[in-house]
Structure 1
Amino acid sequence: MKLGIIGAGMIVRDLLSFIHEIPVITLGAIWSRPSHQDKLRSLQEEYGIARIYSEYSEMIANDDVDTIYIGLPNHLHYAYAKEALLGGKNVICEKPFTSNLQQFLELKEIAQQKQLVLVEAITNQYLKNYLSMREYLPKLGDIKIVECNYSQLSSRYAAFQGGEVLPAFNPKMSGGALMDINLYNIHLVVGLFGSPKKVEYWANLERGIDTSGMLLMDYGDFKCVCIGSKDTTAPNAMNIQGNKGYIHMTSSANTCESFELALHKEAPIRVDDKDHPHRMYDEFVEFERMIREHDLEKVTAMLDHSEKVMEVIEQAKQSANLVFGSDQ
């Protein structure tokens, strides 16, 4: 994979902190707006990035880049992904894929027409502990209750309360708790159980954005609640309760640390199959393989999963009367 990086924020630095551990990925280029060129030059020197750009079209035209990683604010994902796909590049797009389902479906159609790889960078779908959890799930018998809580007081919340509108809490930029930390909960649950029959989102709204909320998903035979909060904090946890046992995880859904499997009349066991400390490592190992092998079957499966998540997001937004700038 010859990677071109879009953006220069915290998520990009997170990526650069470990990507050298996957030597088959080369850093071909990085782009950001002209005002960030000093930052790009610093990143180029620190991480050995071949070229820097202030013109996105020039980066797309670079034959030394075959894949674009989009690490921009949520509302920009669609436009930059579309331009990359139309330019013949594979695309790895940070979560959330897009601001709404219509945008996602358009990107999916372009990628499939051009037979390009298009995937969402969503950590938990590739983490080894999550994959192990999926294998243990049948041991729990009939699932009755699923509960996920990812709560983390945002460092930007105080400024937001003071009247400053930052991207994390800007409805025009598709911010808020649903599209940030609760999205990990949704991906985890949909990845395990598929699409729910009904979705409701009970959101705490401040100035048109959800600073926290409870997403209720009805699967018919069992019920699920996903809590995401950027205005409070609490111990993060996940419970999957069946009539033969439970799975209990004491971490947020984006890292999927070790979990406890407890079956009736048996001693609980601790499961931890994680073999790399960085939460993004496993997904990029798999992205590189998918692109190198042109594994469009796996790409289609992951796009189908992301589409189910986007459908949940659309229902949640409608339920809470949550409207982003791209929706208007």
Structure 2
Amino acid sequence: MVRFAVIGTNWITERFIEAATSIEGFSLSAVYSRTEDRAKQFARKFNVEHVYTDLHEMASSKEFDAVYVASPNSLHASQAMLMMENGKHVLCEKPLASNTLEVEAMIQCAKKHSVVLMEALKTTLLPNFLTIKEHLHKIGTVRRYVASYCQYSSRYDRYKQGEILNAFKPEFSNGSLMDIGVYAVYPLVVLFGEPKSIHGQCYMLDSGVDGQGSLMLQYEEMDALITYSKITNSYIPSEIQGEKGSIIIDKINIPENVTIKYNDGSEENITVPQDQQSMYYEAKEFIELIERNAFESTVNSHRHSIITASILEKARRQMGVIYPADKKDE
């Protein structure tokens, strides 16, 4: 049994717990929140005994083995490293950290203390992403990856009324690319590795973060086009174009329907069943790593996280999206 703690008491933490509860080997032992009332309220909802409002006290606790970090992006690195320094395994929400230097520091910390560190990017562990990998060879030489993830944020309505919530604050290392675009970048990296060049552009909000944007990435034999937004919706599918056909993906963040359209006009539905909540698969992968004493996922690997962080950072700098966390590293 792997005893978990959670840092963060928001909706994503609730989704994670609900998904992980059905996994044999998962138990929830502790909750952290900055305020005691919120921590106790959340703990009661999930029948959790141990509550913390001090991270250092929590890190030294013997009541849990692993922690799910779902705090603001700017806090990921410091909180995760504190936990790992105290021997705790860490599953950290995407994006893993604010920038590449923080990601590298987290990975070195995990290796030093012999604990699991994994980025909680659910897409690449879903059954219908695995089926894309399995059937990719059928479309021949890949020439283009086109991914779109645009999801209008309800927080943007409040932003337009003058209330800037955390999702649009640079001090929390937020914005559209980090929160939404990463869902299109990480699968690209898992499938095709590191690009030769990156070009990014965005619509900048007055708060100092990107509301929407696009990336063009060049590889040796292919290119990739990624569009993302938190201020518009999009309903177009994503696709991987090859010389023999194209793989059509209904939703790049949570693929549920995947079809190959061949050049001769024929089609092949390669969709597979997904009988669990989407976050179940990342939790299962993480727990199995701990049980096998394997300190790194082969899918959501350290290398994939570093490459993704590098893409995000280079694109942001081109756009002029700079965080306080970036300035600390200069």
Task: Give the structure-1-normalised TM-score.
Answer: 0.95
Q: Which residue of 1 aligns with 2:174?
A: 175
- Note closer, same or farther for the CA distance 1:100–1:297 as it changes in structure 2 (3 Å cut): closer
Query: How far has the Cα of 1:275 moved from its partner?
Result: 2.6
The one-letter amino acid paired with 1:325 is P
SS in structure 2 at match of 1:255: coil
Q: Which residue of 1 aligns with 2:218?
A: 218
The one-letter amino acid paired with 1:283 is E
Greater displacement, 40-49 / 274-283 = 40-49
- Note closer, same or farther for the CA distance 1:146–1:303 as it changes in structure 2 (3 Å cut): same
Greater displacement, 210-219 / 158-167 = 158-167
Length, aligned pairs only: 325
Are 1:118 and 1:299, in contact at CA under 8 Å, matched by a contact in 2? Answer: no
Query: How far has the Cα of 1:311 moved from its partner?
Result: 1.2
Greater displacement, 2-11 / 14-23 = 14-23
SS in structure 1 at match of 2:176: coil
Are 1:238 and 1:248, in contact at CA under 8 Å, matched by a contact in 2? Answer: yes
In 2, Cα distance between equivalents of 1:185 and 1:299: 19
Structure 2 unmatched ranges of 5 or more: none
In 1, Cα distance between equivalents of 2:69 and 2:233: 28
Are 2:99 and 2:326, in contact at CA under 8 Å, matched by a contact in 1? Answer: yes
Q: Which residue of 2 aligns with 1:322?
A: 321
In 1, Cα distance between equivalents of 2:237 and 2:299: 30
Identity, in percent, stands at 29
The one-letter amino acid paired with 2:215 is L
In 2, Cα distance between equivalents of 1:192 and 1:287: 20
Q: Which residue of 1 aligns with 2:12?
A: 11
Q: Which residue of 2 aligns with 1:237?
A: 237
Q: Which residue of 1 aligns with 2:154?
A: 155
The one-letter amino acid paired with 1:137 is L
Structure 1 unmatched ranges of 5 or more: none
In 2, Cα distance between equivalents of 1:246 and 1:301: 25
SS in structure 2 at match of 1:212: strand
**1:122-162: CA deviation from partner (whole Å, max 9, x where unpaired):** 00121111011011111111112211110111101122123
- 2:105 counterpart of 1:106: yes
- Note closer, same or farther for the CA distance 1:105–1:157 as it changes in structure 2 (3 Å cut): same
Query: How far has the Cα of 1:236 moved from its partner?
Result: 4.3
- 2:247 counterpart of 1:247: yes
Q: Which residue of 2 aligns with 1:280?
A: 279
- 2:24 counterpart of 1:23: yes
The one-letter amino acid paired with 2:52 is Y
Query: How far has the Cα of 1:63 moved from its partner?
Result: 1.4
Task: Give the structure-2-normalised TM-score.
Answer: 0.94
- Note closer, same or farther for the CA distance 1:236–1:170 as it changes in structure 2 (3 Å cut): farther
**1:225-264: CA deviation from partner (whole Å, max 9, x where unpaired):** 111101111104211111100000112x221112111223
The one-letter amino acid paired with 1:248 is I
Are 2:118 and 2:297, in contact at CA under 8 Å, matched by a contact in 1? Answer: no
In 2, Cα distance between equivalents of 1:274 and 1:187: 22
SS in structure 1 at match of 2:40: helix
SS in structure 2 at match of 1:226: strand
**1:153-195: CA deviation from partner (whole Å, max 9, x where unpaired):** 1101122123222111111111111001110000011111111
**1:213-235: CA deviation from partner (whole Å, max 9, x where unpaired):** 00111113211111110111110
Query: How far has the Cα of 1:325 moved from its partner?
Result: 1.5
In 2, Cα distance between equivalents of 1:149 and 1:209: 19
- 2:51 counterpart of 1:52: yes
Greater displacement, 139-148 / 15-24 = 15-24
